[in-house]
Amino acid sequence: MSTDRINVLPADGAPLSMPEGLEARLRDRLRIAKLRAAPRTLTNRLTLGLALVGPGLLVMLGDNDAGGVVTYAQTGATYGFSLFIPLLIPLGFIAYLVQEMTIRLGAVTRRGHAEMIWKRYGAFWGAFSLIDLVAANILTLMTEFIGIRVASAVFGVSYLITIPLAFCFIIGILLFLKYHSWERISLFVAALNLVFIPLALCAHPDWSAIGRTFAGGGWAVPGGLFSASFLILVSANIGTTIAPWQLFFQQSCVVDKGLLPQDIAASRRDLMLGVVGMVLVAAAIIALAAQYLHGLPNAASLGDNDVLSAIGTHIGRAAMIIFALGLVEAGLIAAIVVTASSAWAIGEAFDLPRSINLEPMQALPFYGPAIAGTALAAGVLMLPHVPVGFLNLTVQVIATVFMPAAMLFLLMLLNDRELLGEHVNSPIRNALSIGVMVLLIVCNGLYGLVTVFPNAL
């Protein structure tokens, strides 16, 4: 283990040695401070901007996970060029609204989301939010390994090889890299999410049909707006846009990166880049599926394997290989960030040393539970007969069900002037956030109603 230390000499001359995780964070801050103090040339400004990006891009591109890719493909295959394409714009706005609050909360308090809930509202509500998060994260991780499992078959490699390799990569970069290196490698993986955009462009979608969706064309819903299949896909699309793990991840990421209130503006730009990327990728997948998969039997229940097979049949093997690579990337980047969100949340809840800057042996209690959860998800997907199609869609809907409670805690924290001072929510932000919570509750209620009483609406 490295013994390098940042030593400070107090008045008596005896050196003080700071915790190793804090050392690395201070080095990152020193790098940013030097860039801020440098002459305001274009090169220096770009370098500073690149140094500050990370949490926003990771959380939003990680949001386009393997389960999300299949959900978008199911959406396009079921409803074609429909209201779901323009719907991505307000969903992107909702994602920005929600995640921006975590930036302010993390930068001002320098505390993670789980820690804030635990200390502000007590052990009961802290445990409630943590159990919700960990349960949802394990289910989400299963969908990521589903994507990796199915895509590996395209390349003729057994999932008994690819899933353990993916697990080792996810845990390896978490254990053995400092935050800065972990973030840069994760950003490289996340950038590969954009592969779906050129794939969709090369498939020559019907641009006039896409344009008509923004003018209300194709908005008619077979079976009606209250049909079970439509409500399930609406809930799933919302669930793949905003999920509880994102709140915990981005706030803790802001803290571990060492961002401060003066970095909020840059972090908002980082988040906006991530939202734009997320919306473009989602639109590309829906358009691709609408062009070539619309009208397939049982389109709403297509699994990863069905989507890949249909793309291979209708577009060609090259497109299927690119889509499979995108599916592997989507599963990998989401598994990286979801695992990190579990580690940070558990570490914060139990007041453990918690930073990706820590050495492995120092942080086993911090890393251990997250590694166990990821191992459980990977182990389940190595079983031979897993209902992958059902699990994919169910997890996205579960994320929608858990989200109102997570948003309520976030909203209460963002209105705590003792914590945030001038950075509390404005009345407009509060009204919009409450509107999002109401939307989620209504979607959940309607989905539950048509599930239990199919003929109620």
pTM above 0.75, yes or no: yes
For residue range 230-252, what is the model confidence (pLDDT) as tens digits?
A: 877 888 788 778 888 999 999 99
Instruction: Indicate the residue type of 229.
Output: S
Task: Indicate whether 9 pLDDT > 50.
Answer: no
pLDDT at 20: 52
What is the residue-averaged pLDDT of the chain?
84
Band of residue 23 on the pLDDT scale cut at 50, 70, 90:
low
pLDDT at 456: 55
pLDDT at 18: 46
Q: Quote the CA–CA distance of 11 and 1 in Å, as a whole number.
A: 30
pLDDT at 46: 82
Q: Which residue has the higher pLDDT, 309 or 452?
A: 309
Task: Indicate whether 147 pLDDT > 80.
Answer: yes
Collapsing DSSP to helix, strand or coil, 296 comes out as coil
Helix (H) or strand (E) holding 254: helix 244-257
For residue range 126-135, what is the model confidence (pLDDT) as tens digits?
A: 999 999 899 8
Least confident of 157-161, 293-297, 378-382, 439-443: 293-297
pLDDT at 212: 87
pLDDT at 11: 47
> C-alpha 259: how far from its chain's center?
19
Q: What percent of the chain has pLDDT over 90?
A: 35
Q: Quote the CA–CA distance of 235 and 8 in Å, as a whole number.
A: 54
pLDDT at 344: 93
pLDDT at 8: 43
Per-residue pLDDT, averaged over 402-408, amounts to: 84
Q: Which residue has the higher pLDDT, 376 or 211?
A: 376
pLDDT at 442: 81
Task: Indicate whether 224 pLDDT > 90.
Answer: no
Band of residue 264 on the pLDDT scale cut at 50, 70, 90:
very high
Band of residue 145 on the pLDDT scale cut at 50, 70, 90:
very high
Q: Quote the CA–CA distance of 85 and 243 in Å, as a whole number.
A: 20
Q: Quote the CA–CA distance of 304 and 319 in Å, as a whole number.
A: 14
Residues linked to residue 8 through DSSP beta bridges, in sequence order:
16
Q: What percent of the chain has pLDDT over 70?
A: 87
Structure tokens at 219: 């908005």
Collapsing DSSP to helix, strand or coil, 425 comes out as coil
pLDDT at 4: 40
Q: Which residue has the higher pLDDT, 385 or 1?
A: 385
pLDDT at 279: 94
Per-residue pLDDT, averaged over 333-342, amounts to: 93
Q: Does domain 56-414+422-452 have CATH number 3.40.50.300?
A: no
pLDDT at 450: 64
pLDDT at 16: 44
Listed residue (180, 182, 347, 190) closest to 257, CA to CA = 180
Task: Indicate whether 21 pLDDT > 70.
Answer: no
Q: Which residue has the higher pLDDT, 294 or 193?
A: 193
For residue range 33-71, what is the model confidence (pLDDT) as tens digits?
A: 777 777 778 777 787 777 788 899 999 988 888 888 888
Task: Indicate whether 6 pLDDT > 50.
Answer: no
Band of residue 217 on the pLDDT scale cut at 50, 70, 90:
confident
Collapsing DSSP to helix, strand or coil, 16 comes out as strand
Exposure string over 214-239, b if 16+ CB within 10 A, otherwise e: eeeebeebeeeeeebbbbbbbbbbbb
pLDDT at 389: 64
Q: Select the highest-mean-pLDDT range: 287-291, 296-300, 382-386, 394-398.
A: 287-291
Q: Which residue has the higher pLDDT, 399 or 156?
A: 156
Strands 16-17 and 7-8: antiparallel
Q: Quote the CA–CA distance of 84 and 398 in Å, as a whole number.
A: 20
Structure tokens at 43: 């090169």
Q: Quote the CA–CA distance of 278 and 197 in Å, as a whole number.
A: 11
pLDDT at 311: 84
Task: Indicate whether 5 pLDDT > 60.
Answer: no
Instruction: Indicate the residue type of 80.
Output: G
